[in-house]
Amino acid sequence: MKVLIVDDSAVVRQLLAQELSKDPQIEVVGAAPDPYVARQIIAERRPDVLTLDIEMPRMDGLTFLSKLMQHHPLPVVVLSSLSEKGSRVALEALSLGAVEVLHKPTAAHAVGDVVQDLCRSVKAAARAKVQTVSPVETRSSLSMTRITNRIIAIGASTGGTQAIEFLLKQLPHDCPPILVVQHMPPTFTKQFAERLDSLCRVSVKEACHGDLLARGQVLISPGSLHMQLRRSGAQFFVELSDGPEVCGHRPSVDVMFSSVGKYAGQNAVGVLLTGMGRDGAEGLLNMRAVGAATIAQNEETCVVFGMPKEAIKLGAASQVLPLNTIAGAALAAASAPESSTNKPALMAT
C-alpha cells in the first residue's frame, strides 16, 4: 500500500519514511512539508493512505483534512504531538473523516515507540471506506464546537485610531477574531482598547501574552510589545515579546502580519490602514504570498498615505479600497470559499 507522509518537520518525515519502509506491505511514495506540496504528490503518485500532522505552516492539518474529504477523500491517519486522542483537536480530526489519530513522539529517539501502532493504523486505513463530505455536513458535524480558523489582522499608524474605530464599529458581534497593531505609546493602548470596547458590538481588549483568539473578540497589541500569532493544534493564541524594533516600531505591523501569514495562511485577511512610513508593507506581501486576502486603504481616505502606498507599490494588496468599504470587504473575504486569486504559484492549476 502506498503511503504519503505530510509533516512540516524534515527530521520527522525522514524518520517516519525510514521506519514505515521497513514493513514489506508499505511503500512510502512521498513526504510533503505542507498540504500544498502534498496536493501535488497526491495527483502524481495516487497514495492509498496519508499520515498527516496538524500543526503546519501555510495551511493547518485540520483545514487540509476538511478540504481533502470534500474534494478527494482518502484514508488519513493524523499523527500529531498536539492531538492526543481524548483532546478536542483529535475529536475534530475524527469528525472531519480521519480514520485514526495517533500521538506523535516529542523526541526523535522515541519514533520507534509508535511505529508499530502507526503501521497497524496505516494498514487499517488502507482498507477503510471514506466518502466525500460536503461542506454542509462538515459544518453540521462540528456545530458550535468548531474552532474558527479565519483571522482578520489590521495594522495602522498615523490616523489609525479613528480609522480603526470606524471600521470596528461596523462589525457584527460574532465576527472572526481580529488582531490589531496601532502605533501608539504603551500607556495609551489599554485606554484605546477600553474605549473601543464601549463603542463596538465586538469585544475589544489590550492583548495579554497567551490570549486565545475567539469569535467576536479584538486583541490590540500593547504599545511597547510585538504581538505575533501562534498556534497550538487548532487553537490560535498571541505571543507578546519585547524584541528589537522593526521598521522603527514596537509593536510592528510587519511582525504581526508575517506571523499571521505563517500560521493562518490563506485563512487570514490582512488590512493595512493609514500611516506614515512603510511598516506593514512587507508583512502584507508575505500574507498575500501564502494566499491570504489583503486590503490596503486608498489614498483618498487615508490621513497619511504612507504605509498603504508602500504595500501597493510592492504588489502586496489584492484590493485597494476606501475606508467605508473595508469592513464589508474584510468580512466577505473571511467568509468566502477558497479562491485562486491570492494563492502562491504552487497552488496554480
CA 330 to centroid of chain Cα atoms: 16
Residues 10 and 126 placed together within one structural domain of the fold: yes
Question: How many residues make up the chain in this entry?
Answer: 349
pLDDT, averaged per 10 consecutive residues of the chain (349 residues), comes to 91 87 92 92 93 84 88 84 53 72 65 75 76 39 41 92 92 94 84 90 95 95 96 89 94 98 95 94 97 96 91 97 95 73 36
The whole-angstrom separation of Cα 63 and Cα 89 is 12
Residues 140 and 157 placed together within one structural domain of the fold: no
Q: Which cell goes with 144?
A: 458550535
Cβ 296 vs Cβ 305: under 8 Å: no
The dihedral through the CA atoms of 62, 66, 72, 73 has a sign that is positive
The whole-angstrom separation of Cα 118 and Cα 79 is 9
Cβ 16 vs Cβ 7: under 8 Å: yes
Residue 38 phi, psi (nearest 5): -60, -40
Residues 158 and 107 placed together within one structural domain of the fold: no
Residues 55 and 136 placed together within one structural domain of the fold: yes
Residues 175 and 266 placed together within one structural domain of the fold: yes
The last residue of a domain, from among 90, 125, 144? 144
Cβ 280 vs Cβ 272: under 8 Å: yes
46 burial (CB, 10 Å; 0-12 / 13-18 / 19+) is exposed
What local confidence, expressed as pLDDT, does residue 139 receive?
30
What local confidence, expressed as pLDDT, does residue 227 receive?
98
Residues 319 and 270 placed together within one structural domain of the fold: yes
CATH of the domain at 259: 3.40.50.180
What local confidence, expressed as pLDDT, does residue 120 receive?
81
CATH of the domain at 6: 3.40.50.2300
What local confidence, expressed as pLDDT, does residue 346 receive?
31
Residues 156 and 91 placed together within one structural domain of the fold: no
Closest C-alpha to 197, from 184, 216, 183? 216
Residues 72 and 107 placed together within one structural domain of the fold: yes
Give the CB-side neighbour count of residue 69, counting CA atoms within 13 A: 26
Q: Which cell goes with 324?
A: 467605508
What local confidence, expressed as pLDDT, does residue 122 receive?
87
The whole-angstrom separation of Cα 270 and Cα 262 is 12
Give the total number of structural domains in the chain.
Answer: 2
Residues 76 and 187 placed together within one structural domain of the fold: no
The last residue of a domain, from among 144, 167, 198? 144
- Residues tagged active-site: 157, 183, 279
Give residue 235's domain range. 151-347
What local confidence, expressed as pLDDT, does residue 124 receive?
76
Residues 180 and 314 placed together within one structural domain of the fold: yes
What local confidence, expressed as pLDDT, does residue 143 receive?
27
Residues 137 and 179 placed together within one structural domain of the fold: no
Residue ranges in 174-296 assigned as alpha helix (H): 186-199, 253-264, 281-289
The last residue of a domain, from among 106, 128, 144? 144
The whole-angstrom separation of Cα 109 and Cα 105 is 9
Residues 241 and 338 placed together within one structural domain of the fold: yes
Q: What share of the chain is helix, strand, coil (3-state, %, to 5)?
A: 40, 20, 35
